[in-house]
Structure 1
Amino acid sequence: MGLLSWFGRKSSTQIIDTPEKLAAAIGYGHDTYTGRAVSGQQALQLTTVFACIRVLSESMGMLPCKLFEQTNNTRTPATKHKLYSLLTIAPNNYMTAQEFWELLMVCLCLRGNFYAYKVKVMGEVVELLPIDPGRVSPKLGDNYEPVYTVTFKDGTTETLTQDDIWHVRTLTLDGLVGLNPVAYAREAIALGLATEEHGARMFKNGATPTGILQTANQLSEPAFNRVRDQFQENHQGMANSHKPMILEMGLDWKPISLNAEDSQFLETRKFQRDEICAIYRVPPHLVANLEKASFNNIEELGLSFVNYGLVSYMTRIESRINTGLLKPSDRGRYYAKFNAAALLRGNLKARFESYGQGINWGILSPNDCRELEDMNPREGGDLYLTPLNMTTQPESNNNADKEKA
């Protein structure tokens, strides 16, 4: 099966051999107690899910991923390695590196797995082509080697090995297939969708307490239909709010005292928003929920997002790059690493404070800092300082040793 027939041929034919594929084909997802079926596309319609996935994917897309070469105690960017440009600039001819990492995160957040076909030349990966996770079925072979059954766009299937497929997965129960977050959080997502639908229908019907029209007289069927149609036309919906009501035939309007707060509608929406944030480990303030944020804890919440939200994904992806994209002979010599410091790009004060501490403690030189700021080196800027109170005094130590002798 050639690559052109895989990625370039357009066809609506699709083999449906599992209940999940059938549900996806007819627009349904995982059944829930609310009666709503939740799929990945439907989950994105919930504002909090979309916001959390956008925060995670765009944050990961901002972080540069570079390939380094380690020789003895020296680490340098491996710019001559083919994989360096794939990770830093473009993994294929139609995506940038940022778009690629964003797509990877979206697949992990919605499906728990990301797959890409590895195009190789002379044994080295020269291109990465993403594959829809719904078209891949992974399993362990008899020799415990992963095999991937891929359904192509023309309806045919082919079984490939991990030499052809780059697989990144989230939390797993069998070591091979990542758990689908939407499937396991379907009840929380469905409840959030249901409350949004309830609120939308409430506003559609007027966003005011409902009521009843009451009369002591008996209405004929034509009169009943005329009153009903006239009332719906003139008084239902937001556009007709606060219009004066004209009643006849002894009709009397009696409102029903019921509001959203009494039915715990708003509280339910708030709880579902926090619960979904917990599923994706995104602090609520990053999805515009500042209810529990303050000047005292906002910085700690941001650090928590990096340490417990992003770092786990970074290390997961780095490990899969080292084991899945590098040749066995290159492992241990080359390694991939994301630069989380890029998240401080918009915080000039924090960057320069960290540079100052690095220079004062001899960790960085001025030219190191200028390089991080995309500035040219200056003369004499390669010196590393050593604090006076941290230096040793070899002459004093030698004299003390002589006195003891």
Structure 2
Amino acid sequence: MRLFGREIRSQPKTVYSLDDKKFAKLLGIELDDVSADKAKEATFYACLRIMTDSVSKLPLKLHKSTEDGTTKENGHYLYNLMKLRPNPFMSSSTFWKMVEFQRLYYGHSVVAINHHPIGKDAGKVKSLVPLEMDNVEIWIDDKGILGEESNPIYYIYTDRNGKQYKFKNSEVLHFLGMTKDGIQGMAIKDYLKTLIDNAQASTAYTNNYLRNGLHSKGIISYVGDLDEGKQKALQERFKRLAGGVSNSGSLLPLPIGFDYKSISTSMADAQFKELSELSIQEIASAFGVKPHQINSLEQSTHSNIEHQQKEFYVETLQPILTQYEQELTYKLLTSQEVNDGYFFRFNVDVILRSDSKERAEYITTLVEKGVITSNEARGLIDMPKLEGGDKLIVNGSYIPIDLVGTQYGNHQAIEGGDDK
């Protein structure tokens, strides 16, 4: 449907189950010989789980930056809305898990902003509702038909009853994956189509190899002539005696005058393992997932796993979180609040929770260097404040450089006087 001067490709209206063969065909994969429930590519879905779990476990906080520093604004109404329950049906963790899944799977995720219509809270954000991306279309009024600002963007959502809703750009949060125009995202499954196809084919190859009892295909030679009926009977007999997992490793009886020669390429000859590992690594690389996170440990050691984990945060998570924080700050806060220094930020410190020793050393260093107070440090590990813990402390031997030596009463030496 072309409503405006320019049309942007929309998501298909048909809803597919993950177990439907039509779903696989969306990826360009034919499943005529493999049931859909067995054909899901493990690495693709494992990477989706890793990414969604990584984002969903990070608490989102509202902060305010002032001349005196940055503070948590837990008294603001948006603080608990974003921290606990963005809408009545989802916890904050579930909300971000769904948003990140759709951003990766469809290339972008759209969240409707529901405001209070009337009353003392009129205009404030009431809830945030992620839209099903199967039913979202993006329209651009580049001809100015609606007479509003230049090239306004609209998001058209069709619910399951066929009712349509129109949202302006300011009425939704729009999170993108890879994009070439800043409006429409590119789904990972689109540019991984060939890799997923190869991985699916390797799964089918393995299953077929096991179903045949690890028994290779071959030629049975016989000195003589067999009509078509006897050939089929002979094939069925050999399948019954040699095929299937139950016959794996058993002896193959051959009648006198028959000879069997294998013509199949083995999994080793086909470099099956190497090719499978290559597909796994390329799929993980497209997501930004590190090898150790998908149990590919051939090149991993204890030291470089820690380094890879830090790379995962810096190279993969940080750009995603920055996009989320900027969109939330711009769309949910008023212009006055932004000017006053309010902003959203994910608490990435939880990434270090799994390493208690490293986290303890990090907090101790901040306290000893006078960066945070003892009570602020206790707050980071969810412990109550103590009396007298609101003062910054440092090592007593630290003094300004121009006073070095004064603690020994050596004033004259410092000032260049007589040292007699």
Who is 1:349 aligned against? 357
* 8 Å Cα contact 1:23/1:29 also seen in 2: no
Deviates more, 1:241-250 or 1:141-150: 241-250
Deviates more, 1:266-275 or 1:196-205: 196-205
Say if 1:30 and 1:298 are closer, same or farther in 2 by CA, change over 3 A. closer
- The runs of 5 or more residues in structure 1 that have no matched partner are 1-16
Who is 2:93 aligned against? 98
Q: 1:359 aligns with which of 356, 362, 367?
A: 367
1:272 CA drift (Å) = 0.9
Who is 1:120 aligned against? 115
Query: Could you say what secondary structure the match of 2:165 adopts?
Result: strand
Who is 1:47 aligned against? 42
Residues in 1 aligned to 2:215 and 2:10: alpha-carbon distance in whole angstroms: 42
Does 2:29 align with 1:21? no
Residues in 1 aligned to 2:275 and 2:15: alpha-carbon distance in whole angstroms: 28
Say if 1:218 and 1:50 are closer, same or farther in 2 by CA, change over 3 A. same
Does 2:325 align with 1:325? no
Who is 1:11 aligned against? none
1:362 CA drift (Å) = 0.8
1:75 CA drift (Å) = 2.8
Number of aligned residue pairs = 381
1:206 CA drift (Å) = 2.3
Deviates more, 1:139-148 or 1:89-98: 139-148
5 Å-filtered alignment, 1:54-133, equals 54-121=49-116, 122-133=122-133
Say if 1:272 and 1:395 are closer, same or farther in 2 by CA, change over 3 A. closer
Residues in 1 aligned to 2:39 and 2:222: alpha-carbon distance in whole angstroms: 47
Deviations 1:104-153 (A, max 9, x none): 11111111111112111111111111111121112333322221121221
- The runs of 5 or more residues in structure 2 that have no matched partner are 1-7, 17-21, 117-121, 143-149, 406-410
Deviations 1:165-222 (A, max 9, x none): 2211123211212222221222222222222222222222222332222211222344
1:328 CA drift (Å) = 2.8
Deviations 1:236-285 (A, max 9, x none): 22222123333336332223363112112211111111111111111101
Residues in 2 aligned to 1:44 and 1:217: alpha-carbon distance in whole angstroms: 43
Deviates more, 1:265-274 or 1:376-385: 376-385
Say if 1:42 and 1:240 are closer, same or farther in 2 by CA, change over 3 A. closer
Does 2:232 align with 1:225? yes
| TM-score using structure 1 length | 0.85
Deviations 1:30-85 (A, max 9, x none): 54xx8789xxx999921111121211111111111111233443433222322212
Q: 2:388 aligns with which of 373, 377, 380?
A: 380
Bigger CA radius of gyration = 2
Who is 2:295 aligned against? 288
1:390 CA drift (Å) = 4.6
Who is 1:13 aligned against? none
Residues in 1 aligned to 2:200 and 2:383: alpha-carbon distance in whole angstroms: 49
- The amino acid across from 1:130 in the alignment is P
Deviates more, 1:56-65 or 1:364-373: 364-373
Root mean square deviation, CA, Å: 3.0
- The amino acid across from 2:26 in the alignment is G
Query: Could you say what secondary structure the match of 2:338 adopts?
Result: coil
- The amino acid across from 1:107 in the alignment is Q
* 8 Å Cα contact 1:136/1:150 also seen in 2: yes
1:300 CA drift (Å) = 0.9
Residues in 1 aligned to 2:219 and 2:248: alpha-carbon distance in whole angstroms: 16
Say if 1:164 and 1:43 are closer, same or farther in 2 by CA, change over 3 A. farther
| TM-score using structure 2 length | 0.82
- The amino acid across from 2:281 in the alignment is D
5 Å-filtered alignment, 1:207-218, equals 207-218=214-225
Residues in 1 aligned to 2:310 and 2:246: alpha-carbon distance in whole angstroms: 46
Deviates more, 1:290-299 or 1:215-224: 215-224
1:331 CA drift (Å) = 2.0
